[in-house]
Structure 1
Amino acid sequence: MDFAKLSRVNINLLVTLQALLKERSASMAAERLNLSQSSISKNLSQLRHIFKDPLFHRTAHGLTPTAFALSIEPKLSTAIEAIESLFTQNDFHLSEYKGAFRLSMQESAFEFITAKLLNNLLTQAPGIRLDTWFKDTLSLEHLNQGLLDFVILPHDVGQTPNLGNYLNSHELYRDHLVCLVKDNHPVLKEKWDQESYLNCRHIHVRDNELGTPIFDQTLARRGLERDIAVQVPDFHSASSLCSQSDLVFTTSSTWAAYSCKVRHLTELSMPLPSSDVVYSLIWHQRSESDKAHTWLKEQIIYAATNLVATA
């Protein structure tokens, strides 16, 4: 270990770098650290010299980290948390905690997981704040960039998302596919089988991150194909269109049960072989030592466990 080299690195510089990585803005980093913007600029200049990398590029939307800056962010967070632990108490009191968490998910996860645990979270940690987005707005890349704390991602079994080197995941629960049609759909008077399913036109929830569903890939290998009439970005839109048309919506049984309660829809079994849908909780390694983050992760996992138990 080169102690002489380490001695020339000011901890304030590393704290500035972490703030810039989190805020993506020199002015917001200055506000966060209670420093002037000129101090932030001076620290950034020294950091660029130390790391021999520009670290950030200025854009119309703020500061964009370089690939090198993103690559050292997990190590930087771990190092600063370790230094901070030298000067703080080990006790973590939920009732006194004040902080924000950023979660991204599909509506199905919001309805069945987040909404169910919300009251418990606010009771245990009344100072907590949750900022939520739908997955088509912010997702895995934003988790890598530090703009999110968690992503709840639905995907087919066998359709594992590319998590890279710094993202961890935990399977929350599994579900199976069913079909939704409007209450007076013509197929309800006929035999519901593979032929009638493929003769219908369909609604599909688009997911640019995962690509073609395993279900459709399996159909293609058998020389079959669904007739996708409409693609939509979210489950609510799909259910709404399904209830007002002759289109079929293939979705999870949990979402189908919910949709049938709030719309004029009927659930039908899936007449073709299909894989289960998996809901995975994903987070970045930078948060592994954060006690508040670990607590919230455990609450989400517990809520999903209860969902399975009561299904």
Structure 2
Amino acid sequence: MNISKVDLNLLVYLDVLLREGSVTKAANQLSITQPAMSNGLRRLRDLFKDPLLVRTSRGMTPTKRAIELQPIIRDVLSKLETTIKPEIEFSPLNSSRTFRIMASDYAESTLLMEVIRRLTTEAPNVSLDLITPSDVTFHDVEHGKVDMAINRFEELPLSFHQKVVWYDTFSCVTNRRNPLIEDFSLENYLGAKHIWVSKTGFGVGVGIDPKEVQKLGWVDAELTKIGKKRNIRVFTRHYHVALQLAKAQNIIATLPSKAASLYLDDSEVKILPPPFDIPPIALKIAWSPLLHHDAGHIWLRRLIVNVGAELTQ
């Protein structure tokens, strides 16, 4: 097929159609009539020799071919838009932009507290809208509705850009009056009561079944490898809750060391190394290719990475 005979506006139509999953919504997004969008879909079907979107009980559903095309089309349009629009420098001191960041409780309390402190002098009018992992989906990040996600990810869509902020080890936190600290052996660790903190992924969370060890995360996965299991009495999604409980009661919180270090100067808390090996975890930034070349986004990414590097020195 000769590319010169292809109406490139059709690629824009396809990008919006696949993002919105509706002819009506896509037409509204592009400020064209619904018949015009329907005609565009018909021409796209002729161009790709595929229905692309089919009506099912869940509404308009993309075909396998459409799913394969979506990241390719989006990448092409993103690069084209970056190429043709004038380059605008980002001025942190003069900007009043709001960045929406999905961040885990762990990232908020350890990394973003320092980032916010830096913003007060480097970008005093820039605002951060911090949202939790359960508030968003991968699609929100992919579509640029969320500027970036900062968390510990097991898997990310291939289209995402990502960068490691730091690697963190694990520590155990408990009340300084807990008699176990005198002999913090694996046997005594397993005999104690524990509080579990969620690793928090995208989307709405669900309850935890203590019997499903494989879903409990890094700490319990490593215990399983040596044929052991801990006695979890409390499940929470908040590190500060875990730390407060560990401080107040004879219960152990095993969590990333940077979170544990928030209580390093607390005389009522004892921080100990785990009595078994747990591999380090990576805190990462992930963002959409749609925002990869945005000047403000680039500035904020660099700031976050630099702060992360300073906090690990």
TM-score normalised by length of structure 1: 0.75
Match of 1:158 in 2: none
Instruction: Identify which of 243, 246, 254 aligns with 2:250.
Output: 246
Match of 1:202 in 2: 194
Q: Per-residue deviation at 1:296?
A: 2.9
Could you tell me which amino acid in structure 2 is paired with residue 109 of structure 1? A
What is the alpha-carbon distance in structure 2 between the residues aligned to residue 122 and residue 259 of structure 1?
Answer: 25
Match of 2:102 in 1: 104
Correspondence list, 1:1-311, <5 A: 2-3=1-2, 6-23=3-20, 29-51=26-48, 52-55=50-53, 65-85=62-82, 87-94=84-91, 101-118=99-116, 120=118, 130-138=128-136, 140=138, 143=141, 148-154=146-152, 161-163=154-156, 165-182=158-175, 184-188=177-181, 190-207=182-199, 211-259=215-263, 265-285=269-289, 287-309=291-313
* Cα distance change of structure 1 residues 20 and 141 upon mapping to structure 2, 3 Å threshold: closer
Q: Per-residue deviation at 1:43?
A: 3.1
Identity %: 24
What is the alpha-carbon distance in structure 2 between the residues aligned to residue 265 and residue 37 of structure 1?
Answer: 63
8 Å contact 1:94–1:124 — kept in the other structure? no
What is the alpha-carbon distance in structure 2 between the residues aligned to residue 119 and residue 264 of structure 1?
Answer: 27
What is the alpha-carbon distance in structure 2 between the residues aligned to residue 44 and residue 262 of structure 1?
Answer: 63
Match of 2:205 in 1: none
Q: Per-residue deviation at 1:109?
A: 0.7
Query: Equivalent residue of 2:101, what SS?
Result: strand
Could you tell me which amino acid in structure 2 is paired with residue 115 of structure 1? M
What is the alpha-carbon distance in structure 2 between the residues aligned to residue 127 and residue 199 of structure 1?
Answer: 51
Query: Equivalent residue of 1:303, what SS?
Result: helix
Higher alpha-carbon deviation: 167-176 or 202-211: 202-211
| Unaligned 5+ runs, structure 1 | 156-160
| Unaligned 5+ runs, structure 2 | 202-213
Aligned length, in residue pairs: 299
* Cα distance change of structure 1 residues 108 and 9 upon mapping to structure 2, 3 Å threshold: same
* Cα distance change of structure 1 residues 75 and 232 upon mapping to structure 2, 3 Å threshold: same
Q: Per-residue deviation at 1:103?
A: 3.0
* Cα distance change of structure 1 residues 279 and 214 upon mapping to structure 2, 3 Å threshold: same
Query: Equivalent residue of 1:228, what SS?
Result: strand
Could you tell me which amino acid in structure 2 is paired with residue 19 of structure 1? V
What is the alpha-carbon distance in structure 1 between the residues aligned to residue 292 and residue 222 of structure 2?
Answer: 37
8 Å contact 2:197–2:242 — kept in the other structure? yes
8 Å contact 2:90–2:296 — kept in the other structure? no
Q: Per-residue deviation at 1:13?
A: 2.8
Q: CA RMSD in A?
A: 3.8
* Cα distance change of structure 1 residues 128 and 70 upon mapping to structure 2, 3 Å threshold: farther
TM-score normalised by length of structure 2: 0.74
